[in-house]
Amino acid sequence: MDQQEIETSGLSRRHFIQGVSSAALAAGIFSSTSLNALAASVPGKKGGTLKVGVVGGSNDVFDANWIVAKADQARLMSTYETLMTFNEKFEAVTVNGLAESAKQNSPTKVTVKLRKGVKFHDGTPLTADDVIATFNRLLDPKQKTTGKPLRVFLDSSGLVKLDPLTVEFNLKAPNVDFLSVLASYTYAIAKAGYDGKTQIGTSAFSLVSYTPGRESVHKRFSGYWDAKNVYLDEVRIIDFSDKTALINALIAKQIDVAIDIPFEQYKTLKAKKYLNVVENSAGAWLAFCMRIDIKPFDDNNVRQALRLLVDRKQMLNRVLSGHGKIGNDLYGYIDANFNANGYQQRKQDIPAALALLKKSGYSKANPLRVELTAPDDTGGLVLMIQTLADQAKKTGGVVIIDAKVIDGGTYWSSKGQYMNTGFYTTYWSGRTYLAQVAASMDIYPETKFPPANSSFRADYLAAAGTANAKKRRAIVARMQKEEFDKGGYIIPFFNNFADAYSSKIKGVVVRPSQLNMDYYGHGFKYISLA
């Protein structure tokens, strides 16, 4: 597929995991493309149907606790709500959440009080039972959900109902930032007894119909707890199989919103007076993964040499037309402790790379020849491997990279290249440092880092349990040093994503967020047509 698939960096088979974020979330660091934090403009008129276009197909998933692609995210956010949400600094807050208040009593105890008068789309009230049922579903290994990281910290027995509107979480391992866990967008609350098939949530719009591969229709829910902030009558989320068709539909004014526009069309769309374009940079990243337990990547000289091979600026230009920020092989861009050691930006340094390789016996006569794979359903990754293969030519034949594109179904399957070979690619959305550590260590051990004799894992648990910000920063710095010096990721950049919508629309919140359109308007609240 084409390059712009990078923007829907969650296509067919992978799923975003909203992992446990167990770090203190202090101020994030971004460049906001717009100035306002929350929509503060004049309230719009009530009524109208919003047509939202997104790339999707028959593979779409509709579940409160599981997503694969952006279309799935849109539908989840339209139907369900979480206890907490993230603000633009990625701090957990109760605004737009189902919790009236939430308190972290101790590193192992959190109490959440639910709002009064919240109803599900079928009229029944939200109670503590529903919250406990949802988290049990997340903890159940037989269910297909994003709950795996949760199980490190929580067990069924830890979920206690204090009263019909209050839930207590007793953690089995300390996590000082459990409130952020509650803000993970796939930990949305469904009714007790949810079977994954009947979608009944608490959001502003109830599901009227869902036709896989075509569209879902959502109607304003009159019993919504925050009804005063809801303006639209109806929302339609429409699937498009082709990116260009999606953009064309927006240009021809057949839809009002296009999620995840390809950057090729960025200038064209921005030039149109009747459209607004919003670009978000919230620490999403693409990476090359090297498994530190597979030859030749078990040799750190090789790993570091490959990291020095990359011309990151060129790669950013080629893959994303410059829409992003250069990376330094460290993740957690939005975290306050990002790059705690203050490392200088790595640049392409062929002589240094060659020197390292020489130490391990590689030369023109004995070249380092490796295969690098990417799935064909995520365009950015395809361009990345081609770029790296091209850049490797600068070594004059000492490093030869065979870039191979594998069909998505095979690549991501349990026997596919992903996670089962030495050198391949992956993508992630932005999360805080420790949340990412958890995800990369346990859920998707892409690099099999850390090695056996490392203190990394112990450090992780220590940092998760430390409330002291200074102490945590020191631990994190140590962890990052190890990754910087010996890790298995090559992270050339953090990618942006952008949406375009009709300028008739009011109430779109523009601020750094993990999901498009500010979490799809938190279920298309605040948004009005004129």
Burial environment of residue 273 by CB neighbours within 10 A (0 to 12, 13 to 18, 19 or more): exposed
SS3 letters across 322-341: CCEEECCCCCCCCCCCCCCC
Does residue number 322 form part of the binding site for another protein (CB under 8 A)? Answer: yes
Q: How many CA atoms lie within 13 A of 530 on its CB side?
A: 4
Cis link prior to 43 (omega < 30° from 0)? Answer: no
**In this chain, which stretch among 115-123, 161-169, 331-339, 407-415 interacts with another protein, using CB under 8 A?**
407-415
Q: Which CB atom, from 25 or from 381, has the smaller least distance to another protein?
A: 381
Of 167 and 498, which has the nearer Cβ to another protein?
A: 498
Q: What does the buried/exposed string (b/e) look like for 336-367 if buried means 16 or more CB atoms within 10 Å of the residue's CB?
A: bbbbbeeeeebebbbeebbebbeeeebeeeeb
Site stretch for another protein (CB under 8 A), options 34-42, 141-149, 176-184, 325-333: 141-149
Smallest separation (angstroms) from another protein to the CB of 220: 18
**Binding residues for another protein restricted to 279-308, rule: CB under 8 A:** none
Q: How many residues bind another protein (CB under 8 A)?
A: 58
Q: Is the peptide bond before 450 cis (omega within 30 degrees of 0)?
A: yes
Does position 407 interact with another protein (CB under 8 A)? The reply is yes
Q: Given the rule CB under 8 A, which of 10-18, 460-468, 476-484, 515-523 is the region that contacts another protein?
A: 10-18
**Percent of residues in the chain assigned helix, strand, coil, to nearest 5:** 30, 25, 45
Residue found under tokens 């939005």: 334
DSSP 166: E
* Dist. CA 177–CA 435, nearest whole Å: 10
Distance of closest approach, residue 2 Cβ to another protein, in angstroms: 6
Q: Segment near another protein (CB under 8 A), from 83-91, 360-368, 374-382, 452-460?
A: 374-382
Beta strands 92-93 and 85-86 are antiparallel
Binding flags for another protein, 250-269, as an x/- string (CB under 8 A): -xx-x-------x-xx-xx-
For another protein, the closer CB: 162 or 245: 245
Closest separation between CB of residue 398 and another protein, Å? Answer: 19
Residues 6+ apart with CB under 8 A from 465: 107, 173, 174, 175, 176
> Is 402 an interacting residue with respect to another protein (CB under 8 A)?
no
CB of 286 to another protein, least distance (A): 15
CA 500/CA 356 separation, integer angstroms? 46
Q: Which is nearer to another protein, 7 or 483 (CB)?
A: 7
User: Applying CB under 8 A, does 105 fall inside the site for another protein?
Assistant: no
386 is a site residue for another protein (CB under 8 A)? yes
Residue 309 or residue 336: which is nearer to another protein going by CB? 309
Instruction: Name the segment binding another protein (CB under 8 A); options: 27-35, 381-389, 452-460, 478-486.
Output: 381-389
Question: Which residues ranging from 409 to 468 are in contact with another protein (CB under 8 A)?
Answer: 409-410, 412-414
User: Any idea how long the chain is?
Assistant: 530
Return the number of the residue (1 or 93) whose C-beta is nearest another protein.
Answer: 1
From 52-60, 158-166, 167-175, 481-489, give the range in contact with another protein by CB under 8 A.
52-60
| Cα distance between residue 328 and residue 313, in whole Å | 11
Q: How far is the CB of 265 from another protein (least distance, A)?
A: 7
**Among 160, 405, 474, 477, contact with another protein (rule: CB under 8 A):** 405
Q: Which stretch binds another protein (CB under 8 A): 101-109, 206-214, 286-294, 449-457?
A: 206-214
Interior CA angle at 267 toward 515 and 318, to 5°? Answer: 75
| Whole-number Cα distances in Å, 100 to 76, 121, 126, 225, 262 | 21, 20, 13, 12, 39
Residue 58 in the binding site for another protein (CB under 8 A): yes
If one asks whether residue 144 binds another protein (CB under 8 A), the answer comes out as: yes
Q: Which residues does residue 187 pair with via DSSP β-bridges, in sequence order?
A: none
Record the tokens describing residue 94, joined without a space.
């109760």
Query: Is the CB of residue 65 less than 8 Å from the CB of residue 145?
Result: yes
Query: Please, what is the minimum distance in Å from the beta carbon of residue 244 to another protein?
Result: 5
Report the sign of the C-alpha dihedral through residues 133, 139, 144, 146, in that order: positive
What is the smallest separation between the CB atom of 413 and another protein, expressed in angstroms?
Answer: 6
What are 340's two structure tokens? 């705690």
Residues lying near another protein in the complex (CB under 8 A) are found at 1-4, 12-13, 15, 57-59, 141-142, 144, 209, 211-215, 217, 238, 240-246, 248-249, 251-252, 254, 262, 264-265, 267-268, 314, 317-318, 321-322, 376-377, 382-383, 386-387, 390, 405, 407-410, 412-414
